[in-house]
Amino acid sequence: MSQQEKQSVTTAQNKEVVTLGGGCFWCIEAIFDELEGVERVESGYSGGGVDNPTYQQVCTGNTGHAEVVQITFDPKVISLKDILVVFFTVHNPTTRNRQGSDVGTQYRSVLFYRGQEQKDIAGQVIREIQTAKMWKAPIVTEIIPFKVFYKAEEYHRNYYKLNVEQPYCQLVIAPKMKKFRDRYRDKLKR
């Protein structure tokens, strides 16, 4: 194995992945795609009992899946804690099975953790946010072990970037993006 091949394997091994659901994956994908240290954000489905679900199936609320994003990041650049602080402040983690007008189990607030360390960090971040009283109601985000992630159909990927003029993007995503960019300006990709 060449030095370059060894280095690329090491680099791949130094990445971390977390899977998060906070309502419509279009919003969450757009936000995390702009964070420094985040290398890939993929929209998809997780947490249900149907293999390879379609968007139409997930939208019924009968598959058990949530709309999620799978985030691959470099923990030397951005910590899981920082990612989770952003996550818990860019969606409402106090509403069960809903984000704004999006209602159903597919829109629930959920974190699929990989390993005890991710679970512990999630618990720590939730305690800190609740102690700081960032939200008036208790956080109801599900914290459950990761099992499987199914990529969303191609037309969902990079939805905001590709459809910025679409009404949903203008009315729902754009205001969230502005608030996110204003609040986390120091964490954005340069």
Domain contains 23? yes
R_g of the chain computed on alpha carbons: 16
Domain contains 40? yes
Domain contains 140? yes
Q: For 104-158, where are the alpha helices, taking DSSP H only?
A: 116-131
Gap between the Cα atoms of 56 and 172, Å rounded: 21
**Domain count across the chain:** 1
CATH of the domain at 148: 3.30.1060.10
pLDDT attached to residue 2: 37
Confidence bin at 65 (pLDDT 50/70/90): very high
Domain contains 7? no
Domain contains 10? no
Domain that holds residue 19: 15-187
From the candidates 24, 27, 59, 169, which is the catalytic residue?
Answer: 24
Domain contains 52? yes
Query: What predicted TM-score, i.e. pTM, was given to this entire model?
Result: 0.89
Range with the lowest mean pLDDT among 4-8, 145-149, 152-156, 166-170? 4-8
Gap between the Cα atoms of 110 and 44, Å rounded: 13
Domain contains 2? no
Is there a catalytic annotation at residue 24?
yes
